[in-house]
């Protein structure tokens, strides 16, 4: 296996494992430990195509009981890519399914097991959705696709995207610290190792990890050691 010198950096911890679409064009990530976020990135470019939270913004510690209840109402295993290209499915606490078309940037809601929260959602190798809810029900759904086949994959464009990505990255060396060689991105911006070493200012609009990195760099002395 080869580690390429480009990586996706997320803003906190506690994320679930990424879910990939069958055609390999997207990956979706649920998390994190502090909010019920949903983010979708194009692959392999790692460009962010969707970022949202499924509950109200984090009110800060100590968390109010009503916010914690809202947070727990959304399963962390409630997303799946359907067999149709660009279709992301999201299970809700109401028991419905949201179908998000990432290509058309549209969404529609489907009543499936309405009344009981969706606790798990996945897709079979044949493209059927498997839905479980808190009432202990389990159903398999066949998703009807458009007979006109409007959602087709542009093979040549996909190949060109992969070629461009590979040309813009390289294999990270085995020796030394990996992060001394990796270019990181949050899906909208990219930072080289030198960028992260030099950053000393950040605003509240910047990712939390970048604000922390700037604070650490400011606390370092000229000898490179942390001083308090």
Domain 6-141 grouped into CATH 3.50.50.60: no
Q: Is the pLDDT of residue 222 over 60?
A: no
Tokens 């097991």, residue? 113
Residues of the chain with CATH 2.130.10.10: 6-141
Q: Is the pLDDT of residue 214 over 90?
A: yes
- How many Å apart are CA 3 and CA 174, to the nearest integer? 9
Q: H or E stretch including 158?
A: helix 155-168
What is the phi-psi region of residue 95: left when phi exceeds 0, alpha when psi lies from -120 to 50, beta otherwise?
left
Q: Give the percent of the chain with pLDDT over 70.
A: 93
Q: Is the pLDDT of residue 56 over 80?
A: yes
């Amino acid at each position: 296996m080869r580690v390429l010198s480009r990586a996706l950096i997320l803003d906190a911890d506690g994320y679930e494992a990424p879910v990939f679409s069958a055609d390999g064009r997207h990956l979706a990530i649920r998390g994190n430990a502090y909010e019920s976020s949903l983010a979708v990135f194009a692959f392999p470019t790692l460009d962010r195509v969707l970022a949202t939270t499924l509950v109200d913004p984090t009110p800060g510690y100590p968390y109010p009981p009503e916010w914690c209840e809202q947070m727990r109402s959304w399963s962390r295993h409630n997303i799946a890519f359907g067999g149709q290209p660009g279709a992301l499915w999201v299970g809700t606490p109401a028991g419905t399914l949201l179908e998000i078309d990432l290509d058309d940037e549209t969404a529609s809601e489907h009543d499936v097991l309405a009344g009981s929260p969706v606790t798990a959602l996945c897709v079979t190798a044949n493209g059927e959705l498997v839905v479980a809810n808190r009432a202990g029900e389990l159903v398999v759904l066949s998703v009807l696709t458009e007979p006109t086949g409007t959602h087709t994959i542009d093979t040549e464009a996909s190949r060109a995207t992969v070629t461009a990505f590979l040309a813009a990255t390289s294999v990270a060396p085995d020796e030394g610290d990996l992060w001394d060689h990796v270019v990181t991105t949050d899906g909208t911006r990219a930072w080289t190792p030198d960028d992260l070493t030099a950053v000393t200012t950040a605003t509240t609009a910047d990712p939390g990890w970048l604000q922390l990195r700037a604070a650490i760099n400011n606390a370092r002395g000229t000898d490179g050691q942390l001083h308090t």
